[in-house]
């Protein structure tokens, strides 16, 4: 076949760069060089031996240094990239820098443990990624967030610092809520609340939809969907089984769990307004991090 003739089983071409690399580390070359050096050696044997040992020690420590520095640089350059392209979070350090290649399971017919119809098992799966609880960050980490200067602090009985929540937890919560509202017969309580207070319900839904819109526009995922012909369909059909590059969600989840605040020792198992100090009250959480009221 023509294709095979052109592209099949061609011997690998030696590149000049490859050859240079080989001759550089070639053992015979080293031997020749040290052999020629022998002819100029006129000093005593012990001095010569000492000099060789010194040389060897220098070369060894040099190569160890190069190894360590190059490994460090390799690690930090990948993580540098993550930090440079992300808003600061101490959680970034927990993401392994090897991003994963994942093909999304996007076809309508594909099963997923997060798809309906809802069951206690489906709820359990959602719970594992949605209900992680608040975490604790240090004052130093907090200072790099550009967050409200009157943010809620963790009581000193629980080690101090500030209360926080990774955005992904809230984003997943929003998606779960939208999905749940398509099953009013199962999530009756939520459905009832939406009927009892439609204004508040719409506010919550609008809030979630608008935050997810901002997040999706913020990330502007340029990964491309292609199309297929589907039998008995006269228009191209989008193929949502698209390969993506993903952060390691398990790493993100583990970090969040490690940082979780254990509030079980508190009176209401949750933070309440501290009695021994005054706090700054707002009508709504402030937009301006410097706002005092
Ligand atoms: C902090 O937030 C304010 C208000 O959004 C913004 O004007 C300012 O540029 C931010 N500072 C930094 C360092 O990002
Ligand atoms: C939901 O509302 C209906 C009708 O008012 C009521 O019969 C039912 O008990 C409520 N269910 C829950 C779980 O709140």
Interval between CA 66 and ligand 2 midpoint (Å) = 70
Q: Whose CA is nearest to atom 6 of ligand 2?
A: 192
Q: What is the mean pLDDT of residues 199-226?
A: 98
Give, for ligand 1, the residue of 87, 146, 151, 290 to mutate: max count of ligand atoms closer than 8 Å to Cβ: 146
* Nearest ligand to the C-alpha atom of residue 195: 2
* Count of CA atoms in the C-beta half-sphere (13 A) of 107: 6
Q: For residue range 217-259, list pLDDT tens digits in order.
A: 999 999 999 999 999 999 999 999 999 999 999 999 999 999 9
What is the whole-number distance in angstroms between the Cα of residue 287 and the centre of ligand 1?
A: 10
Higher pLDDT, residue 62 or 138: 138
| Closest-lying ligand 2 atom to the alpha carbon of residue 188 | 13
Residue nearest to atom 7 of ligand 2 (CA): 192
Ramachandran angles phi, psi of 160, nearest 5°: 75, -165
Ligand 2 centroid to Cα of residue 170, in Å, is 27
pLDDT band (50, 70, 90) for residue 64: low
**Ligand 1 pocket check for 146: Cβ under 6 Å:** yes
Q: Which residue has the higher pLDDT, 73 or 195?
A: 195
**Which residue has a Cα nearest atom 2 of ligand 2?**
192
Q: Whose CA is nearest to atom 9 of ligand 1?
A: 146
- Of the ligands numbered here, which is closest to the C-alpha atom of 291? 1
On the question of pLDDT at 2 being above 90, the answer is: no
72-101: per-residue pLDDT in tens? 555 567 888 889 999 999 999 998 777 899
Q: What percent of the chain lies above the pLDDT cut of 70?
A: 80
Pocket test for ligand 2, best of 180, 188, 195 (most atoms within 8 A of CB): 188
Q: Is the full-model pTM beyond 0.85?
A: no
Secondary structure of the chain as H, E, C letters: CHHHHHHCCCCCCCCHHHHHHHHHHCHHHHHHHHHHHHCCCCCCHHHHHHHHHHHHHHHHHHHHHHHHHHHHHHHHHHHHHHHHCCCCCHHHHHCCCCCEEEECCCCCCCCCCCCCCCCHHHHHHHHHHHCCCCEEECHHHHHCCCCCCCCCECCHHHCCCEEECCHHHHHHHHHHHHHHCCCCCCCHHHHHHHHHCHHHHHHHHHHHHHHHHHHHHHHCCCCCCEEECCCCCCCCEEECCCEEEECCHHHHHHHHHHHECCCCCCCCCCCCCCCCCCCCCCCCCCCCCCCCC
Could you report the per-residue pLDDT of 4-55, keeping only the tens digit for each? 333 333 334 433 333 333 333 333 333 333 433 444 444 567 777 777 888 8
pLDDT digits (tens, 9 = 90+) for 154-176: 988 889 999 999 999 999 999 99
Work out which ligand 1 atom sits closest to the CA atom of 146: 1
CB 160 less than 6 A from any atom of ligand 1: no
Distances (CA, A) of 170 to 54, 131, 212, 270, 281: 61, 9, 10, 18, 23
What is the pLDDT at residue 44? 62
Residue minimizing CA distance to atom 3 of ligand 2: 192
Share of the chain above pLDDT 90, in %: 61
The total of other beta-carbon atoms located within 10 Å of residue 146's CB is 11
Tracing tokens 């069951």 back to the chain, one arrives at: 119
Which residue owns the Cα nearest ligand 2 atom 13? 189
Interhelix angle 198-219/188-196, rounded to 10 degrees, is: 110
Residue nearest (by alpha carbon) to ligand 2 atom 5: 192
């Amino acid at each position: 076949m023509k294709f095979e003739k052109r592209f099949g089983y061609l011997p690998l071409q030696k590149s000049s760069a490859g050859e240079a690399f080989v001759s550089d580390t070639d053992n015979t070359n080293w031997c020749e060089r040290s052999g020629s050096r022998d002819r100029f050696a006129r000093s005593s044997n012990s001095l010569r031996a000492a000099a060789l040992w010194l040389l060897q020690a220098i070369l060894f420590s040099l190569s160890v240094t190069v190894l360590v520095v190059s490994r460090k640089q390799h690690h930090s350059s990948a993580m540098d990239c993550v930090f440079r392209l992300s808003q600061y979070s101490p959680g970034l350090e927990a993401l392994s820098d090897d991003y994963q290649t994942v093909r999304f399971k996007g076809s309508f017919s594909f099963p997923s443990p997060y798809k309906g119809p809802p069951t206690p098992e489906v709820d359990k799966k959602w719970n594992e990624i949605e209900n992680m609880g608040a975490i604790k960050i240090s004052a130093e980490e907090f200072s790099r967030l550009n967050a409200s200067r009157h943010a809620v602090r963790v009581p000193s009985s629980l080690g101090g610092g500030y209360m926080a929540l990774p955005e992904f937890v809230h984003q997943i919560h929003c998606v779960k809520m939208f999905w749940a509202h398509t099953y009013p017969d199962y999530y009756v309580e939520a459905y009832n609340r939406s009927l009892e207070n439609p204004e508040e319900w719409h506010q919550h839904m609008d809030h979630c939809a608008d935050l997810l819109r901002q997040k999706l526009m913020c990330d502007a995922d340029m990964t491309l969907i292609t199309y297929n012909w589907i039998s008995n369909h006269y228009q191209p059909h989008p193929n949502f089984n698209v390969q993506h590059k993903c952060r390691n969600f398990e790493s993100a989840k583990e970090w969040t769990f490690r940082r979780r605040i254990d509030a079980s020792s508190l009176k209401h198992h949750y933070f309440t307004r501290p009695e021994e100090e005054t706090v700054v009250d707002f009508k709504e959480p402030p937009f301006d991090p410097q706002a005092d009221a």
